[in-house]
């Protein structure tokens, strides 16, 4: 009985320590990005299915307050994803199409990144945050935070992970995965705080001749959707 009691106290104590540490890291993460009105970073976006990498994309991401994002995909092809505060747009120049949906209705895999363009309060995205020592960090010394999305209790095999430097709060990676074995990983480098950005960067004007598609383009990761997999209404501009 005494041994069982000591073990119970050990686990309770360990849980408390982990909770306190995750709270400290979250506070540093929020503090590192909260003061900036604009952010810029290089990104690498990796798609995996059942543990196998199937696609990689790279480019530059921009975040502006309130609630604006711009993702310029430059490799392997030029694409553009923009949230102007009201609408989310995905533009594929090669296909002459621009897909749009109201930003708050989008189920896009980049949704957890919206906190960088908002009030920078992790609690607005995550109902609960905890350290996840089971995941090996990409950057040595970084901490892995498991986020349970607010209003959406995640099954054990579905998760959102943030990799954060526990000293300065810098974000290096986000992993979003679902029970079907599909995973999207965002890696960030070369963070710039308060770069000079033209407000026009966060507005999208479809070029003439581009078809506008109304529908959620993010039911699956961009690049994994096949033709005809998105129900949408198309109109010519």
Domain 2-236 homologous superfamily, CATH: Lipoprotein localisation LolA/LolB/LppX (2.50.20.10)
Query: Tens digit of pLDDT for each residue in 186-234?
Result: 999 999 999 999 999 999 998 998 999 887 654 334 333 333 333 344 4
Mean pLDDT, to the nearest integer, of 45-53?
90
Instruction: Look up the pTM and report it.
Output: 0.80
Report the chain's terminal Cα–Cα distance, integer Å.
Answer: 75
Question: How far apart are alpha carbons 78 and 61 in whole angstroms?
Answer: 13
For residue 192, what are the β-bridge partners?
40
- Asked whether residue 85 carries a pLDDT value surpassing 50, the answer given is yes
pLDDT tens track for 28-40: 999 989 888 999 9
pLDDT digits (tens, 9 = 90+) for 133-181: 899 999 999 999 998 877 654 444 467 899 999 999 999 999 988 777 8
Cα dist. 229→5, 47, 128 in Å? Answer: 55, 18, 33
- Rounded CA-CA distance 186/88 in Å is 19
pLDDT at 108: 66
What's residue 41's pLDDT? 96
Residues 6 or more apart whose Cβ sits within 8 Å of residue 120: 30, 33, 34
pLDDT score of 155: 47
């Amino acid at each position: 009985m005494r041994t069982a009691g000591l073990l119970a106290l050990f686990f309770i104590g360990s849980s408390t320590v982990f909770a306190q540490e995750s709270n400290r890291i979250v506070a540093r993460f929020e503090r590192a990005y909260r003061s900036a009105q604009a952010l810029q970073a290089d990104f690498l976006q990796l798609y995996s299915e059942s543990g196998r990498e199937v696609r990689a994309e790279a480019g530059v991401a921009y975040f502006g307050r309130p609630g604006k994002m711009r993702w310029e995909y430059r490799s392997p092809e030029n694409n553009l994803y923009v949230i102007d505060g009201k609408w989310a747009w995905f533009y594929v120049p090669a296909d002459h199409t621009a897909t749009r949906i109201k930003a708050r209705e989008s189920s896009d895999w980049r949704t957890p990144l919206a906190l960088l363009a908002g009030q920078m309060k992790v609690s607005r995205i995550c109902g609960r945050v905890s350290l996840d020592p089971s995941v090996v960090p990409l950057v040595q010394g970084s901490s892995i935070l498991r986020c349970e999305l607010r209003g959406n209790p995640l099954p054990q095999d579905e998760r959102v992970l943030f990799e954060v430097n526990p000293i300065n709060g810098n974000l290096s990676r986000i992993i979003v995965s679902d029970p079907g074995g599909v995973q999207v990983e965002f890696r960030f480098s070369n963070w710039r705080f308060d770069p000079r950005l033209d407000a026009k960067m966060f507005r999208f004007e479809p070029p003439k001749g581009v078809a506008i598609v109304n529908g959620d383009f993010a039911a699956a990761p961009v690049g994994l959707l096949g033709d005809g997999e998105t129900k949408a209404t198309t109109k010519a501009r």
